[in-house]
Amino acid sequence: MKFFRSRPFDEAAALRGSAAWSRGREGARDLLQRFGIAVRLGELGEWRDAEPVFRELIPPMTAEFGPRSKETLGAWVHLALSWSGQGRPDEAVPLLAETEDVYEQTWGAEAATIWCRRMLVEALSVANRVDERVAASASLVRYCATELGDADPLTREVRFGDLIALCDADRQDEALRELAEKIVPFLRKPFDLDWAEAARLEIGAEQGDAVLAVPPLRELAARHPRHGFFRQCLADVLVLTDDHTEAAALLTNLVAESWSGWRQTLRNRGTLAQIHPDPQVAAFHARAVLAAVAWPVGHPEVLAAQEVLGRWG
């Protein structure tokens, strides 16, 4: 009897096959199923395969659901995301802005409208248009606070995103004030308060003595071992303290888990390229970042990976 080693399941290949099989099937259920396949391809970073599916879906979805339906508008947003995901955010930004206007006019301050605006902020980040990103993020925060109130969970989520935008623009003082005055007062659950504390520690580490933030972040990571956010904060701060050995170990595990999606995984791989003690491993991660084509030419993530390959090849 022969024993065959089973091949590892290739989810992306299976999804590509399903997308090809379902092409031309245009009932409402079939359209939504195909849309879900393309969304999952995007989540896996397979935007090159997802883009034509979204493009092909828009005409039949418009006919089936209407041009202003959430289904059709969602297809437009994901088409823009497929461009951004392939390092073409400048193409995505105007489409997202236009689609967001239609969402607002048709559906008002609903989760789908806010999601579209959040994707616009993300596309500006991919484009490294720092000032526009900060302005768009602040506008989104004001919109949610006005329409939904400061205590609404969606308002809290966009405020957390605003912290990242502010820190990426080297405006940590503003980020800390927003966290203390606009986020923490509306948190009640212990987990949410721990999340906010980890964010505070990391932001503070960026502007002060990062060593002091390490012990409390270790405690938070130990308290929530199954949640990657706390290990991510700890790893980021360890990089600031030049403790590259432990940071690399944490980031390697986070990459293996793909804890927070495809783009965060690529960011972590970019950091590993910078700090990993083994030049071959560092170069491996740098090549992966460049092969993903997730950012446009000249973006800091791209330049950093190119510098590593120039050093280690």
Q: What is the DSSP string of 260-276?
A: T-HHHHHHHHHHHHHH-
Range from 7-21, 53-67, 158-172 carrying the lowest mean pLDDT: 7-21
Residue 300: pLDDT band (50, 70, 90) is very high
Residue 63, pLDDT above cutoff 70 = yes
Please state the rounded mean pLDDT for residues 280-286: 97
Please state the rounded mean pLDDT for residues 62-76: 97
Question: 2: alpha, beta or left, given left = phi > 0 and alpha = psi -120 to 50?
Answer: beta
Residue 22, pLDDT above cutoff 90 = no
Show Cβ contacts of residue 302 under 8 Å, excluding neighbours closer than 6 positions. Answer: 289, 290, 295, 296
Residue 177, pLDDT above cutoff 50 = yes
Please state the rounded mean pLDDT for residues 266-282: 97
Please state the rounded mean pLDDT for residues 25-49: 93
- pLDDT, tens digit, 9 for 90 and up, residues 80-109: 999 999 999 999 999 999 999 999 999 999
Q: What percent of the chain has pLDDT over 70?
A: 97
Show Cβ contacts of residue 250 under 8 Å, excluding neighbours closer than 6 positions. Answer: 231, 232, 234, 235, 238
Average pLDDT, whole number, for the chain? Answer: 94
- pLDDT, tens digit, 9 for 90 and up, residues 117-169: 999 999 999 999 999 999 999 999 999 999 999 999 999 999 999 999 999 99
Q: In angstroms, what is the C-alpha Rg of the chain?
A: 21
**DSSP code of 8?**
P
Please state the rounded mean pLDDT for residues 224-251: 97
Backbone angles phi, psi at 240, to 5 degrees: -65, -30
3-state secondary structure of 87: coil
Considering the entire predicted model, what is its pTM? 0.91
Question: What was the pLDDT predicted at 302?
Answer: 97
Task: Count how many residues are written for the chain.
Answer: 313
Nearest to 156 by CA among 148, 85, 299: 148
Residue 24, pLDDT above cutoff 80 = no
Neighbours of 267 (CB within 10 A): 19
Range from 8-17, 24-33, 239-248 carrying the lowest mean pLDDT: 8-17
Question: What was the pLDDT predicted at 29?
Answer: 93
Distance CA 222, CA 37 (A): 36
Question: What was the pLDDT predicted at 313?
Answer: 66
Structure tokens belonging to residue 233 = 């904060």
Residue 270: pLDDT band (50, 70, 90) is very high
Q: Cα 12–14–17 angle (5° rounding)?
A: 110
Residue 185, pLDDT above cutoff 80 = yes
**DSSP string covering 169-224:** TT-HHHHHHHIIIIIGGG--SHHHHHHHHHHHHHHHHHHS-GGGGHHHHHHHHHHS
Please state the rounded mean pLDDT for residues 69-83: 98
Helix 153-168 / helix 111-126 crossing angle, nearest 10 deg:
10
Nearest to 266 by CA among 279, 243, 242, 285: 285
Q: Cα 30–34–40 angle (5° rounding)?
A: 145
Domain ranges within the chain, ordered by starting residue: 260-313
Long-range contacts of residues 93-98, Cβ cutoff 8 Å, at least 24 apart: 93/120, 93/123, 93/124, 93/127, 93/129, 96/120, 96/123
Residue 277, pLDDT above cutoff 70 = yes
Range from 24-33, 125-134, 263-272 carrying the lowest mean pLDDT: 24-33
Nearest to 20 by CA among 4, 5, 41: 41
Question: What was the pLDDT predicted at 9?
Answer: 60
